Amino acid sequence: MRILVLCTGNSCRSQIAHGYLQHYAGKRAEILSAGVETHGVDPRAIAVMKEDHIDISHHTSNNVDEYSDIEFDHVITVCDNAREACPVFPSHATKHHHNFPDPAKVTGTEVEVMNAFREVRGEIKAYCRDFVERHVLVL
């Protein structure tokens, strides 16, 4: 099974989801993530995932066009912008959507920004655990 996670810049939300989906699915699924743009992997996303013992420091920020000829079983958009800009995949991929807040847009102190990242991480973690239970482990 192959799953693609799409976001605007492939820097925060899709990277966090990529990490959790891979963690929960293990070898039962190949997880890829991309953005309609590429902004680089946000160091804060790496840091909050490390707090939860998941290493995404090796992830890269990829453009969705890089995957245009790959067949996916599921495509998950994690922000409204990606959903609207999501290319049409010539495949049978089932599309899923959940709009998570963008922690990179939070302003304030570093503590406030990191807390926003942790809050979004918690939402994405719960979503990914449920997604894997519903769509991956049922096979």
Domains in the chain (CATH in brackets) are 2-135 (3.40.50.2300)
Cα separation, 113 vs 90, whole angstroms: 38
CA nearest neighbour of 7 among 83, 70, 59, 72: 83
At 137, the pLDDT band (50, 70, 90 cuts) reads confident
Residue 68 has a pLDDT of: 84
User: Is 2 in a helix, a strand, or coil?
Assistant: strand
Q: Which residues are catalytic?
A: 7, 79, 86
Residue 88 has a pLDDT of: 54
Beta bridge partners of 2: 30
Q: Is the pLDDT confidence value at 74 over 60?
A: yes
Q: Is the pLDDT confidence value at 90 over 90?
A: no
Cα separation, 27 vs 122, whole angstroms: 23
